[in-house]
Structure 1
């Protein structure tokens, strides 16, 4: 994962830059050796935590979630922290939802008790694409089964959002199985979740984020400009699960055609 990011990042940097750049790619919390660096590009959550707390250089964190970026900013003493998160724009995900489940009128999503911003974005953007939104908040995993039973009885598609309180290793498969029992398609947020049984997902690969990180570095004259900035993925891909779509009576769609359709919508003013 890190290798693909590093390759795309290095290939995307403009030649002739005088900045000394060091990429911190760690699997553990060991201190990052960054003496003299103008910028630390930290790949993954472990590297981002180490870089943000272990030095005074500006940090560009990549391949982390929005929740991880928020936590880093709260805990880190280094305030010159920018991030490119893996979380897709909510409107992009809901455009995919509309394309792969064109007959759906109602869409639902579950959120952790503190994820109010994402819930608001879901409601707003569902309406933008012509879907009636219904959401619920979960305080603990014990509430998940009852909430799913209630929501899936009246909604025609479940949109999975990257909220660790809802979708984690303990719950991800049971959510898919419950949704399948109700014959409700699930829109995922990762390629792995599509392989597990979601009908489709929009996601960004490490080289997509590496390319975007290089473009961000190229446009900056001062790395202090990173401070408190978070950018959503610019480049993305679509994954589809034809087998599950067919089992649910949905038309199968070509992944690249779906991606092109969404890109066309995003280019419109």
Structure 2
């Protein structure tokens, strides 16, 4: 009997590096009278969409790929780093301003800050949706109590507590396996035999372009849906994902910046995005016999004034 090929496309290595890193989209600027400085990717064109969205909100946008281009002693307000490469350069620079990281995954942010040459004054809005958002999506997809399998490495072990709390909140079981990054994570799936769905977390030590494809092929053969960690993973073959889009990121960042500018808020703790929505791979859903309801499509938390 002929087995149809998996309904997903091979991942381009550059695309997956962006979505694993994990982060690659931009942000910025405040008002015409108050400048907001942004550190971009080496090629700002890669972040054009979010930069345009930020400029429409904050016309006085000053964007540079090299933090040394500014004398931050003369500036006011925070500096925003767009993505992990910009964050790495910002942490190595002698910035005299609070640093706000966006478009970098929670795992990459923790790793980069831990390896910084000096203790930074920094916070973040992570690129990945919270464990609570992903498990809320899974609960809505299945509408019954299912067991969610998760592979974690030492680099993402910090997610386990939040995952267990969210699973309890949404009436799900959770099965966590500690995976060795030196081995193909597809092999670790054998330890998740009791799970009905796999939640892939943004862990660059486990999910590379090759290993993510291997996991998708293995789970497809088993008839096991995978909920990914970005819209790009959905395009690549996962069933669905909760994720923040450009407008969500801009609104979230603007609220954080406004709070700092007003002087009513101290630099907050790094956190997951406040706003998010869902992406669905309709071909994968049909192949797995999963009916996607309007309730699932409408899930999310939207910025004020935007319903979807």
Q: Where does residue 223 of structure 2 map in the other structure?
A: 183
1:137 alignment partner in structure 2:
178
Per-residue deviation, 1:113: 2.4
Whether the 8 Å CA contact 1:93–1:202 is kept in 2: the answer is yes
Name the residue aligned to 1:33: 69
RMSD after superposition: 2.7
Aligned 1:116-265 pairs, distance under 5 A: 116-142=157-183, 144-151=185-192, 153-220=193-260, 221-222=262-263, 225-226=266-267, 229-254=269-294, 257-258=295-296, 260-263=298-301
Alignment length (residue pairs): 254
3-state DSSP of counterpart to 1:136 = strand
Distance 1:3 1:150, change over 3 A: closer
1:267 match: none
Asked whether the equivalents of residues 82 and 102 of structure 2 are also in contact (C-alpha less than 8 Å), the reply is yes
Q: Distance in 2 between matches of 1:260 and 1:246?
A: 19
The residue aligned with 2:86 is: 47
- How many angstroms apart in 1 are the aligned matches of 2:24 and 2:288? 37
Stretches of structure 1 that go unaligned for 5 or more consecutive residues are: 265-269
Q: Deviations over 1:126-163 (max 9, x none)?
A: 12211111110012241523321231x32111111111
Cα distance, 1:262 vs structure 2: 4.3
Give the TM-score of the pair, scaled to structure 1.
0.84
Q: Deviations over 1:187-225 (max 9, x none)?
A: 111111111211110111233212211111111145993
CA 1:234/1:161 → structure 2, altered by over 3 Å: closer, same or farther? same
The answer as to whether partners of 1:58 and 1:223 remain within 8 angstroms in 2 is: no
Structure 1 residue matching 2:159: 3-state secondary structure: helix
Q: Whose RCO is larger (CA < 8 A, sep 6+)?
A: 1
Alpha-carbon distance in structure 1 between the residues aligned to 2:24 and 2:156: 32
| d(CA) in 2 for partners of 1:34, 1:223 | 27
Distance 1:75 1:202, change over 3 A: same
Taking structure 2 as the reference length, the TM-score comes to 0.74
